[in-house]
Amino acid sequence: MNNNFRSYRGISPSLGKAVYVDQSAVLVGDITLGSDTSVWPLVAARGDVNKITIGVRTNIQDGTVLHVTRKSEGNPTGNPLVIGDDVTVGHKCMLHGCTLGDRILVGMGAIIMDGAIVESDVFIGAGSLVPPNKTLKSGYLYVGNPVKQVKELKISEANFLKQSAINYVELKAEYLAGA
């Protein structure tokens, strides 16, 4: 493995097929990336005290921080970070020990905290804060600090969630091809 993949306690990141990880990103420990996933410049992902699992066709954009919560007596499983399929995580986000379903767009600069659950087909606006242990229900736009449900997604907006992921699959393919 190259310098941006680092082992922690003998566990190293695991990559699916056709994954793109920028040379300036750093992935440490128990991290699994699904096929066709992309990790862009300056992403820091630490699967040291728990695991990070990222689904297929998901993109983690520039400057994002991914981390987890340690197992403890009060929280025996800790909080792993689980990100589903076809998820777009915008620039400079912070995802910490939360669970994201499929077809989600996390707007630039958003923060999603420990124990939060984001169901599938959700749009989170830029700069939003999802507090610990909050659940965001499927099919809505959420914005604010703390985040509030604003409106139901239109069909075109829901379709865009998947299209955003497809756009990044195409872009990472260009990078892998050296274009």
Give the number of domains in the chain: 1
pLDDT digits (tens, 9 = 90+) for 165-175: 999 999 999 99
Specify which residues 118 forms β-bridges with: 100, 136
CA dist list (Å): 104 to 21, 39, 93: 20, 16, 13
Quote the domain boundaries for residue 172.
5-176
pTM: 0.96
| Cα-based angle 144, 147, 149 (whole degrees, multiple of 5) | 105
Q: Judge contact between 114 and 84, C-beta under 8 A.
A: no
Euclidean distance between CA atoms 96 and 67, whole angstroms? 5
Question: For residue 168, what is the domain's CATH number?
Answer: 2.160.10.10
Per-residue pLDDT 10s for the chain (179 aa) are 467 999 999 999 999 999 999 999 999 999 999 999 999 999 999 999 999 999 999 999 999 999 999 999 999 999 999 999 999 999 999 999 999 999 999 999 999 999 999 999 999 999 999 999 999 999 999 999 999 999 999 999 999 999 999 999 999 999 999 86
Both tokens of 71, joined, read 């197992």
